[in-house]
A and B are shown apart, each in its own frame.
Chain A
Amino acid sequence: MRNHMFGFTLQESLFLGFCSLLILSTKLLMRLHLKVPGHSMFFLILFLMLAALCVRKRWSATLAAGMAGLLGMFTGSGKLGPLGVVSYMLPALVIDFCVPFLERHRKNLALFAVAGLLAAAARAPVSLFSEWMVGMDLQVLFMSTAIKTGGGMIFGALGALPVPALLTKLEARGLLSAAPKKSGAHS
């Protein structure tokens, strides 16, 4: 299989595109039914982690998030416009950074939860920056960001928890190629 774009084959980039569409559609659906703040983080973190750990290449989560941001701009689901792309990319960058650790410690659920927590918290700078530039009082600014991000962090950690079990199931049925880094992790 040859390189299609950014070092990904056509199959991998299509899979990442489908993951980004699943993120968008679950976000649209859940907004109709639930009114809990931050719950969209659950599926964002779940699908981004699955994308990164299924493809097993650097920047795979970031590519999926970039596509989700672009498609979100097509469909008008994001209310932030161009800042929406950044708000998808920041959690994905954290996940891409964490993937080598997560692959080495696949049994450690706490590590996955912490990675989900950190990835969800990575969205805070977008809201912090825009509200600070608008001229909001600093104490109010921190409180409002804490309210917005806190719920997202809890749901992000919850979204990361089922990932190892899902990966084990996918590998057991031969849907993923055998993990290439397992031999490296031994040494």
Chain B
Amino acid sequence: MLNGSSRHIPRVSQTQLILRMAAAMTLAMGALFWHGPWSLTALTLGTAALAVAVGAHRHPWKRLALVFVWQVVLVMALYLLRYGAQSLPDGALVAGRLVLLVLPGVLLMRTTHHGEMARLLVRVLPARMGFVLSTCVFFFPTLWSVTVQTYESQVLRGARILPRELVNPLNWGTLVRVICLPAIVSSLALARDVALAAHCRWYGLHPDRTVWPGPNPSDTTGEPRA
């Protein structure tokens, strides 16, 4: 459920991804720090070029647009309330710059397969952090299915935690008591089990990376290998 929709995202090479990230970072930093006379035009053109390069037109963009509409409306409404109608162009410029600050990162995240991003990040992160993150992502569906089962049972029992009932924040206490507490209990138990299973395979015996049962399957003495 964490990978969003099942849309097809074309794979890119790691070098291409690093280049795209550098371009998005430069554009966002430009929106923040560069206030020259032609800055807005250049940044808009740059962001449009990035959008074309990452193939943003092939992705659903309506929800993406909705994310920014709220931001633009809020800024312009505040300018209108404070300074009147003549300040609306100023408000529009500031709102445009805010959109240009956030848009390159959003474009990059939406158009990159999360596996590619994970591979890039795991290359940068220490191996132990990478192990914890990948194990958590791997076992999370187990935890989530238990939570969903708990939710269904609680709804059948009559707990007021249906989406339409959760609009009322008074029902959030019930949600915490009957869903969040079991989720925490399950995650405590699951973390204990996974850690025990890893320790049984002598994970973490050596300071560097260990594998079990080793590169040669016939030699299964259980000896951990660095």
Q: Which residues of A contact B (CB under 8 A)?
A: 1-2, 4-5, 9-15, 17-22, 24-25, 28, 33-34, 42-43, 46-47, 50, 54, 67, 70-71, 73-76, 78-82, 130-131, 133-137, 139-140, 143-144, 147, 158, 162, 166, 169-170, 173, 175-176
One digit per residue, 1 when the CB lies within 8 angstroms of any chain A CB and 0 when it does not, for chain B 180-212 equals: 110111011111101110110001100000000
Residues in A neighbouring B198, C-beta threshold 8 A: 10
How many residues on B have C-beta within 8 angstroms of the other chain's C-beta atoms?
A: 75
Residues in A neighbouring B144, C-beta threshold 8 A: 25
A67-B132, A76-B117 are known; give 17 further A-B pairs, CB within 8 A. Answer: A10-B198, A11-B192, A14-B135, A17-B135, A21-B140, A21-B143, A25-B2, A33-B166, A34-B167, A76-B106, A81-B106, A130-B32, A133-B32, A135-B94, A144-B75, A144-B78, A158-B169
Residues in B neighbouring A133, C-beta threshold 8 A: 32-33
Closest 9 CB pairs of A and B: A81-B105, A17-B136, A76-B109, A11-B195, A18-B187, A14-B191, A15-B191, A10-B195, A5-B128
- Least CB distance from A36 to B in Å reads 8
- Least CB distance from B178 to A in Å reads 12
One digit per residue, 1 when the CB lies within 8 angstroms of any chain A CB and 0 when it does not, for chain B 111-147 equals: 0101001100100011011001101110110011000
Majority-rule SS of A interface residues: helix
Residues in A neighbouring B195, C-beta threshold 8 A: 1, 9-11, 14
- Least CB distance from A85 to B in Å reads 11
B118 A74 Cβ-Cβ under 8 A: yes
A162 B176 Cβ-Cβ under 8 A: yes
| Residue B225 lies at the interface, judged by CB distance under 8 Å to chain A | no
Measured in the bound complex, the distance between the Cα atoms of B126 and A73 in whole Å is: 17
When the two chains form the complex, which single residue of A43, A79, A144 contacts B106, counting CB atoms closer than 8 Å? A79
A54 B184 Cβ-Cβ under 8 A: yes
Residues in B neighbouring A136, C-beta threshold 8 A: 75, 94, 98
Residues in A neighbouring B83, C-beta threshold 8 A: 137
| Residue B173 lies at the interface, judged by CB distance under 8 Å to chain A | yes
- Least CB distance from A143 to B in Å reads 5
